[in-house]
Amino acid sequence: MGHLSDADRGAYSLLREQQILVDVDSHRLDLSAGVILVACSDGDQLPDIFNNISHSFAGQRSTARIHTIALNGGALLLPANSPLVTAHREDEVLLEHIRVARQLKGIDTIALYTHAPCGAGTIAGLTLKQEIDLLLSAKSRIKEEFSDAKVACFCHIDRGDSKRTYFVSRNRWILMHMYPDNPSMWNSHG
């Protein structure tokens, strides 16, 4: 749906600087049984997201095993308070599909993705920071529903001239909100 707004470009730079969006360290994600990928169905972004996570299987499996669940907005639909959820209860639909995928495929690792810019997020008036809030709320909801699941959050950024996927550090995000005026505290706890 276009390019990052100027405000989201600034937020992206700040999130990188604050080490909330960090380089993906794929060996930290247990992909030995595969992964349930919950992402937006955006046809301009999903191929790059899929390709990126496929490369993460190196050293853990001989072939990628990605069970993809994709709706407009992806993981941003999961929080109970998401402005993207309509009367169709997309959050419940996603949860049911995750539940069934875990049963059918025996996969306990779930990768939640947001991307920026996201058309569904733009229509809802969301900023990049609000998308990150929703993404981390999605992780909390997944952990409430499936306490034994391993859940990781990622943000895919399309800067127009390049695309890149980042791991979202929940701990750093929480510390940033706990100590907004004291960044030195982020490093002592994170």
Is residue 83 a contact partner of residue 73, using CB atoms and an 8 Å limit?
A: no
Given a contact cutoff of 8 angstroms between Cβ atoms, the answer to whether 40 and 118 are in contact is: yes
Candidates 118, 148, 144, 119; CA nearest to 132 is 118
Collapsed DSSP state (helix, strand, coil) of residue 40: coil
In this predicted structure, what is the pLDDT of residue 33? 94
The top-level CATH class assigned to 6-189 is: alpha beta
Q: What is the pLDDT of residue 132?
A: 94
Cα–chain center distance at 179: 23
Q: How does pLDDT run along the chain (190 residues), one tens digit per residue?
A: 467 888 898 889 988 988 899 998 865 788 999 999 999 999 989 999 998 898 888 888 889 999 999 999 999 999 988 999 887 899 999 999 999 999 999 999 999 999 998 889 888 999 999 999 999 999 999 999 999 999 999 999 988 888 899 999 888 877 766 655 655 555 654 4
Pick from 162, 155, 107: nearest CA to 133: 155
Euclidean distance between CA atoms 113 and 46, whole angstroms? 10
Rounded to the nearest 5°, which phi and psi values hold at 186? Answer: -65, -40
Distance CA 71, CA 120 (A): 10
Q: Which residue in 71, 121, 114 sits closest to 94, CA to CA?
A: 71
